[in-house]
C-alpha cells in the first residue's frame, strides 16, 4: 500500500475563528482529521508530521524551509510522496525554495492549503487536500507521475517555482502564466505528461545552505538616486531588480553608474520584470542594452518568488559572483525558459 507523509505547517486550512478575538487562528491536526472522514477511505496509508508551532505562512522563513527539506530527506525512502499543508500567502516562496533545495527529486512534493478553513461549510480545503493526496500517490509503471515540487489549488496542479498567489479572495488563488499547468482535476485527473519534469540523475541531494543576503530594487518612474543608492549599498550580496516590460530601466547616467559600481563591488544583480507574463530580453531595447553589457543577470520569465529563493539558494552554495550570475541564468529546476 502507498504511504504518504502529510506535513502540517499551518495556514487557513487548519484555522478556526477565535470566539473572543474573532480572528482566524491555527488548530491542531487532529481537529483537521475530524473534518475529513474521507481520509480513511483513501487507498493509502497516511502518516502525519505536525510542526510544533503551527503558523500563518506570513511567518514562514528559511529556517523552516530547511526543516521541511530535512523532513523530506529523512522520510524519503519510506514514503511514496509528500503533501505539505501550508498557508497560501507565502506558499509559492516555500515551494520555489524547496524546488531548489531538493535536487534530482523523484517523488512528489505537493503543497496545498485553502482559502476557507476546513471546518467551514463552503470550504475549498477538502477537495484541495484529497486531490493533493491522490496526486502524491499517483504512479505509472511504479514511478511517480509528478516527481516535482508543486502547488495544488482549485483543481489545478502548478509547478511550484512557476506559480504565485494572485488572488486573496477567490478559490482560484494561484496562477502560472509562464508555464502550463501540470495536471487538472475534473471527472478524471489529467496529467500533462510533456510538461512534467523527470529527474535526470538518480542521486537525490538536499541542499540546506541558504543565504538571505538579498535586497530588492523595485523600479518606478521618478525613483531617486538616494533611494537606489541606499538599496544598492545595503550589506547584501544579491539584488533582485524588478524592471519594466522586457527588462528595461531608465538610461539616466546616475542610475547606470550606481549599478556598475554595485557590480564592480562584487554584488550580483538579477533582472526580472514587473510584468507577470512574458520574459526579460536584455538588449532588445536601448533601455536594457547597458544592463547586459555591464553584467546584470537575465532572469528571463522567472517569478518574483523563484528569483528571490534561487538567489538565496545560489548565494548559500557559491561565493564567486560570476558563477552565481551564470547559474541564475541557467534553468536549474524548470523555473525559467530561455528565450
Query: By the criterion CB under 6 A, which residues form the site for ligand ASP?
Result: 10-12, 56-58, 87-89, 113, 115
249 a catalytic residue:
no
What is the rounded distance in angstroms from the CA atom of residue 19 to the CA atom of residue 24?
9
Q: Locate 72 and state its grid cell.
A: 523530506
Report in angstroms how near the CB of residue 90 gets to ligand ASP at its nearest: 6
What is the rounded distance in angstroms from the CA atom of residue 257 to the CA atom of residue 299?
21
Q: Which of 12, 94, 243, 249 is catalytic?
A: 12
Comparison of 115 and 298: residue with beta carbon closer to ligand ASP: 115
Report in angstroms how near the CB of residue 3 gets to ligand ASP at its nearest: 26
Report in angstroms how near the CB of residue 303 gets to ligand ASP at its nearest: 17
Q: Are 249 and 280 in contact (CB under 8 A)?
A: no
Closest CA to 37 of 27, 24, 46: 46
Comparison of 89 and 271: residue with beta carbon closer to ligand ASP: 89
Report in angstroms how near the CB of residue 175 gets to ligand ASP at its nearest: 15
Within its chain, how far is the Cα of 85 from the centroid? 14
In the complex, which residue's CB is closest to ligand ASP? 87
Comparison of 128 and 185: residue with beta carbon closer to ligand ASP: 128
Closest CA to 26 of 34, 14, 18: 14
Comparison of 89 and 335: residue with beta carbon closer to ligand ASP: 89
Comparison of 11 and 81: residue with beta carbon closer to ligand ASP: 11
**Burial class of residue 266 (count of CB atoms within 10 Å of its CB; 0-12, 13-18, 19+):** exposed
What is the rounded distance in angstroms from the CA atom of residue 172 to the CA atom of residue 165?
9
Report in angstroms how near the CB of residue 56 gets to ligand ASP at its nearest: 4
Q: How far is CA 18 from CA 15, 22, 97, 123, 205, in A?
A: 9, 5, 32, 18, 42
Query: Catalytic site residues?
Result: 12
Amino acid at each position: 500500500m502507498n504511504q504518504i507523509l502529510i506535513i502540517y505547517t499551518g495556514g487557513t486550512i487548519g484555522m478556526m475563528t477565535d470566539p473572543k478575538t474573532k480572528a482566524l487562528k491555527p488548530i491542531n491536526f487532529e481537529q483537521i482529521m475530524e473534518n475529513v472522514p474521507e481520509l480513511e477511505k483513501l487507498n493509502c496509508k497516511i502518516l502525519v508530521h505536525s510542526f510544533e508551532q503551527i503558523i500563518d505562512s506570513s511567518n514562514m522563513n528559511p529556517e523552516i524551509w530547511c526543516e521541511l527539506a530535512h523532513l523530506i530527506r529523512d522520510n524519503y525512502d519510506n514514503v511514496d510522496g509528500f503533501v505539505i499543508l501550508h498557508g497560501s500567502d507565502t506558499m509559492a516562496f516555500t515551494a520555489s525554495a524547496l524546488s531548489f533545495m531538493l535536487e534530482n527529486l523523484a517523488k512528489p512534493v505537493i503543497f496545498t492549503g485553502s482559502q476557507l478553513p476546513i471546518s467551514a461549510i463552503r470550504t475549498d480545503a477538502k477537495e484541495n487536500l484529497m486531490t493533493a493526496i491522490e496526486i502524491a500517490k499517483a504512479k505509472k509503471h511504479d514511478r511517480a507521475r509528478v516527481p516535482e515540487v508543486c502547488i495544488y489549488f482549485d483543481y489545478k496542479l502548478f509547478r511550484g517555482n512557476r506559480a504565485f498567489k494572485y488572488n486573496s479572495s477567490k478559490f482560484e488563488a494561484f496562477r502560472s502564466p509562464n508555464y502550463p499547468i501540470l495536471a487538472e482535476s475534473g471527472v478524471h485527473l489529467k496529467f500533462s505528461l510533456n510538461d512534467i519534469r523527470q529527474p535526470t540523475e538518480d542521486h537525490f541531494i538536499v541542499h540546506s545552505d541558504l543565504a538571505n543576503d538579498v535586497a530588492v530594487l523595485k523600479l518606478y518612474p521618478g525613483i531617486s538616486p538616494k533611494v537606489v543608492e541606499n538599496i544598492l549599498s545595503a550589506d547584501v550580496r544579491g539584488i533582485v531588480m524588478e524592471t519594466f516590460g522586457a527588462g528595461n530601466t531608465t538610461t539616466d547616467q546616475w542610475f547606470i553608474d550606481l549599478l556598475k559600481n554595485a557590480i564592480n563591488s562584487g554584488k550580483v544583480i538579477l533582472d526580472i520584470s514587473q510584468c507577470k507574463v512574458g520574459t526579460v530580453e536584455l538588449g532588445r531595447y536601448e533601455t536594457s542594452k547597458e544592463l547586459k553589457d555591464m553584467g546584470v543577470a537575465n532572469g528571463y520569465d522567472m517569478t518574483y518568488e523563484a528569483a528571490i529563493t534561487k538567489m538565496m539558494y545560489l548565494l548559500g552554495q557559491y561565493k564567486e559572483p560570476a558563477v552565481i550570475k551564470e547559474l541564475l541564468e541557467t534553468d536549474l529546476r524548470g523555473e525559467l525558459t530561455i528565450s
